Amino acid sequence: MTKQEPRANGSPVNLAERLENLTSKRQEIIRPILENPREYVLLSVRAMAQRLQTDPATIVRIVRGLGFASYREFQHHLHALSIAFASPLDSMMSTPGDSSIPAVIQESLARSAKNLQALKNSLDTNRLAKLAKRLFEARRVVAFAADSAAILAEYLEYHLSIVGVPIVAVTTAGGMTHVARVVKKRDVVIAISFQRGLRQTVEGAQQARAHGAYCIGISDTYLSPLARACDEVFLASVDAASFGRSYTAPISLMDAIIAICGQYKRPLTMVVAKELAEEQKKGVRWYNT
């Protein structure tokens, strides 16, 4: 995905500009939907028109005026909006308050499994496979992530450094600011942030790309600002049954990246693996039973 593309998975990139081109009356009709997408995303065009006290034909004309080819395409956009702007409260409210503890456990596991299945179904493996060559050929690789996503950057750093990828995890606002200033054309930046995106991560990616680094975004929605700030983006859902985020899918995406890097330089990986196996047998790090 690039900044020059006019559409992203069916959604007009210049939606705000198109909204301003609508008549005041049509803006008034559509604005509640864009501000509260979760309340409208599952409605049919007839039900939506009834709720907004207008007619279905008007809704369809507004949707097309916003640049969507169909109402279904507009619904996909609303779904992406509901993901991008979901709050911990929204997640809590998605699970009934009278649910038993075992039911909550099952729902949590089901959400994580659903996220993983979605990643498996949607991931472009050929595009992901090309990352290994880019990462090994980079002067350096920098993983930007903050808040709870910092563990993903550190996870990636720990594993890729084993096979010689020159990677460092940067998880503070100051660190991202300083590193983004000094990256160059041969550097790769992996920016990880979900939903609306943390400012420090997004701005770090923007600055790094402006300095010539190749930027890869990891998020959960194509409406993420990382989709615009980076040269390409990979999506992994973090939908959860509680106030937190489920990192099952993002961790699995990291595992796939680790796997392709191990396979890309398999002879080196085998040498390292043999050293690790020997260290595991005799190394002082391991508890001696």
**How many residues comprise the chain?**
289
pLDDT of 132 reads 94
Cα R_g (the chain), whole angstroms: 22
For residue 36, give both structure tokens: 């509260």
> What is the C-alpha to C-alpha distance for residues 47 and 42, in angstroms, rounded to an integer?
9
Domain formed by 7-84, architecture: Orthogonal Bundle (1.10)
User: pLDDT tens across 55-94, in order?
Assistant: 999 999 999 999 899 999 999 888 888 877 777 677 667 6
β 11-12/7-8 pair status: antiparallel
Q: Hey, how many other C-beta atoms are within 10 angstroms of the C-beta on 89?
A: 9
> What is the C-alpha to C-alpha distance for residues 5 and 230, in angstroms, rounded to an integer?
12
> What is the C-alpha to C-alpha distance for residues 253 and 185, in angstroms, rounded to an integer?
25
Confidence of residue 1 (pLDDT cuts 50, 70, 90): very low
For residue 107, give both structure tokens: 């729902």
For residue 266, give both structure tokens: 């398999």
pLDDT of 56 reads 92
User: Quick one: average pLDDT of 166-193?
Assistant: 97
Residue spans of the domains in the chain: they are 7-84, 121-281
pLDDT of 92 reads 65
User: pLDDT tens across 206-216, in order?
Assistant: 999 999 999 99
Confidence of residue 130 (pLDDT cuts 50, 70, 90): very high
For residue 238, give both structure tokens: 């973090």
Mean of pLDDT over the chain? 89
Domain formed by 121-281, architecture: 3-Layer(aba) Sandwich (3.40)
Between the ranges 6-15, 89-98, 243-252, where is the mean pLDDT highest?
243-252
pLDDT of 249 reads 96
Q: Hey, how many other C-beta atoms are within 10 angstroms of the C-beta on 55?
A: 13
User: Quick one: average pLDDT of 131-156?
Assistant: 96
Positions of E strands within the chain: 7-8, 11-12, 141-145, 167-170, 188-192, 214-219, 232-235
